[in-house]
Amino acid sequence: MTLNIEDLHQIAKIEKDTQQGFQHRIHVCVAAGCLSCGSGVVKDALEREVTKRGLDNWCQIKGVGCLGLCTAGPLIAMEAGGQFYQGVKVADVSDIIEALGGSPIGRLLCPDDSAFFKRQLRIVSENCGRIDPERIEEYIAESGYEGLYLALTQMTRQEVLGQVTESGLRGRGGAGFPTGLKWTTVAKTVDSTKFVICNADEGDPGAFMDRSVLESDPHRVIEGMAVAAYATGASQGFIYVRAEYPLAVKRVRLAISHAERMGILGNNIFNTNFSFNIKVRLGAGAFVCGEETALIASIEGRMGRPRPRPPFPAEYGLWEHPTLINNVETFANIPPIIRKGGKWFAGIGTEKSKGTKVFALAGKIVNTGLIEIPMGMSLRDIVFDIGGGIPDGKLFKAVQTGGPSGGCIPQQFLDMSVDYESLMKVGSIMGSGGMIVMDETSCMVDVAKFFMEFCMSESCGKCVPCRVGTRQIYDILCKITDNQSTPEDLATLEDLCDLVKNTSLCGLGQSAPNPVLTTLNYFRDEYLAHIHDKKCLAGACKTAKEVS
């Protein structure tokens, strides 16, 4: 089966007509967060209740991707009235169906006019919570694959590269490298064999952005990869996703099979001479495989260890061929950029940080969940407006961005703009989008120790600075939180951080000291209290004597 634009429009029309045939449509979140709270059984119960009442042609129960407010799960959306119901249980199902067409159920209402929903700008996540991620027809009904069709039939490769470059999109995987420049580098290589890889090896503690996008809108990522392959001259793609994300793996594989069935993947896509295939490769959960050269080694069947660069994967990558690697969110931005133009995307965000950013809000915050905001929004607006502030009347202390590679940002920077440059100025990074909020009960030395333990255990061991240095840093942090350290330990700690940062082989080791360095910089008093006064200012750490 090979489609053309008329076929896409016809599929979209049929799907929309079908949807509009129902007077009521109930969207049940079936992403991992809500499923863990029991949304699957709620959805089944709603379907049984609708059938029992003979309302199958009147009310549609649809499983959708992440609705965002994970803390309120199981979460369902009533499309007709625009209400959200939170914390829904099977016992509520009869009342929900009974109330259709009448007044909403007050005890279940989640304020849909709250800042959590109103302050977001959805580009990557625009389909999340709206379409069934397991039906390609619903993606097509939301302009799905029109960007790919436009690129293949009306644009040259150079024009596609030009639109991506003009958009100002930067890689959302952490480093923020200009996407257009990376794509152009791969396109300029003369090798006839090239690869496109989607890095879905999201391993930061507290991060679930890429997983949610894959669970909620997998076709969007596939479309972005296909556009990238056309622009760079690649014919084979890989999605490298950790096996710990079984729902994402299932839906990605299903989406690939559906796209192949319709001829959107495979040979002569849209009756052009462009052919592209995608395979899924599972990672075993090694954090270091998020580093692109280690990821390549893993796909090749070798141990996932990084290698020195240059040469960079854009010239010497998978099986020694030019390879384009971007993460899930980067590829998910591509379809709307092609449909609406690079200039449109560049009009969002700041001068050097364009577009939106998806964040996973976690930690000591009221509204835990997935958000997407325009670059440049203040940290205060994210934490206290969208995030709802700190629970239980506690005081805000810090927010950690960028995962183990990032830093801890104190209260004095709450009004800073959240963009690549601003975060780097205060010692942190954007990273893939994890944002962990801490309150007054958090000991920042203990926080630094947590992230250092993670980096230490995830080190591949290839280079001495990372393998040995992270262990030594962790041991000193343990001495400090156990109130058994000396002032000399603090000096040694700073020297070790400098050594590991400047001599490690890859980004894991080079960035591992960041949480330690930022807490030393902004919360030094907590280190000194442990060392000199033998106490934890936050009251979070137990002394060695108390532990025994």
pLDDT of residue 207: 80
What amino acid is encoded at 449 in this protein?
A: K
pLDDT of residue 111: 74
Tell me: the pLDDT tens digits for 151-174? 999 999 999 999 999 999 999 987
Greater confidence, 433 or 87? 87
Tell me: the pLDDT tens digits for 331-369? 999 999 999 999 999 999 999 999 999 999 999 999 999
Tell me: the pLDDT tens digits for 190-224? 999 999 999 999 888 878 889 999 999 999 999 99
Tell me: the pLDDT tens digits for 407-417? 999 999 999 99
Band (pLDDT 50/70/90 cuts) for residue 376 is very high
Average pLDDT (393-413) is 92
Dihedral angle computed from the Cα positions of residues 227, 360, 382 and 86, in that order, rounded to the nearest 10 degrees: 110
Longest pairwise C-alpha distance within the chain: 76
Q: Is the dihedral of CA 67, 73, 74, 78 positive or negative?
A: negative
Residue 493 to residues 244, 408, 469, 517, 525: CA-CA distances in angstroms? 34, 17, 10, 9, 15
Alpha-carbon distance 362 to 436, whole Å? 5
pLDDT of residue 544: 43
Band (pLDDT 50/70/90 cuts) for residue 404 is confident
Of all residues in the chain, the percent with pLDDT exceeding 90 is 81
> CB under 8 Å to 354, separation ≥6 — which residues?
167, 168, 169, 170, 345, 346, 348, 375
Of all residues in the chain, the percent with pLDDT exceeding 70 is 98
The count of other CB atoms within 10 Å of the CB of residue 525 is: 10
Q: What is the mean pLDDT of the chain?
A: 92
pLDDT of residue 285: 82
Q: Are 148 and 132 in contact (CB under 8 A)?
A: no
Average pLDDT (393-397) is 95
Q: Are 192 and 369 in contact (CB under 8 A)?
A: no
Tokens encoding 144: 């799905």
Annotate 254-310 with DSSP letters as a single string. HHHHHHHHTTSSBSSGGGSS--BEEEEEEE-S-GGGGSHHHHHHHHTTS------SS
The helix (H) or strand (E) run that includes residue 425 is helix 420-425
Closest CA to 222 of 242, 249, 252, 246: 252
pLDDT of residue 218: 97
Alpha-carbon distance 418 to 359, whole Å? 11
Dihedral angle computed from the Cα positions of residues 168, 372, 323 and 270, in that order, rounded to the nearest 10 degrees: -90
Alpha-carbon distance 337 to 128, whole Å? 18
pLDDT beyond 80 at 2: no
What SS3 string covers 359-410? EEEEECCCCCEEEEEECCCEHHHHHHHHCCCCHHHCCEEEEEECHHHCEEEE
> CB under 8 Å to 84, separation ≥6 — which residues?
67, 69, 72, 75, 76, 77, 78, 109, 110, 112, 117
Tokens encoding 61: 């129960």
Band (pLDDT 50/70/90 cuts) for residue 309 is confident
pLDDT beyond 60 at 125: yes
Q: What are the φ and ψ backbone dihedral angles of 323, each rounded to 5 degrees?
A: -140, 130
Residue 54 to residues 60, 504, 538: CA-CA distances in angstroms? 12, 65, 58
Band (pLDDT 50/70/90 cuts) for residue 112 is low
Q: Are 112 and 83 in contact (CB under 8 A)?
A: yes
pLDDT of residue 546: 45
Q: Worst-scoring range by mean pLDDT, 244-253, 305-314, 333-342, 471-480?
A: 305-314
Q: Are 75 and 69 in contact (CB under 8 A)?
A: yes
Q: Are strands 24-29 and 59-64 parallel, antiparallel or unpaired?
A: parallel
Band (pLDDT 50/70/90 cuts) for residue 1 is low
Band (pLDDT 50/70/90 cuts) for residue 420 is very high
List domains and CATH numbers for the chain.
18-112 (3.40.30.10), 136-346 (3.40.50.11540), 356-439 (3.10.20.600), 444-547 (1.20.1440.230)
- CA-based radius of gyration for the chain: 24
Angle formed at CA 275 by CA 274 and CA 281, multiple of 5 degrees: 140
pLDDT beyond 70 at 287: yes
Closest CA to 445 of 391, 525, 510, 509: 525
Alpha-carbon distance 488 to 491, whole Å? 5
Tokens encoding 430: 């954007």
Residue 184 to residues 168, 175, 221, 229, 351: CA-CA distances in angstroms? 13, 18, 20, 12, 22
SS3 142: coil
pLDDT of residue 548: 35
- 17 by Cβ neighbours in 10 Å (0-12 / 13-18 / 19+) ranks as exposed
Tell me: the pLDDT tens digits for 22-67? 999 999 999 999 999 999 999 999 999 999 999 999 999 999 999 9
Exposure letters 71-104 (e unless 16+ CB within 10 A, then b): bbbbbbbbbeeebbbbebeeebbeebbebbeeeb
SS3 3: coil
Q: What are the φ and ψ backbone dihedral angles of 438, each rounded to 5 degrees?
A: -125, 145
pLDDT of residue 369: 93
pLDDT of residue 35: 94
pLDDT of residue 543: 62
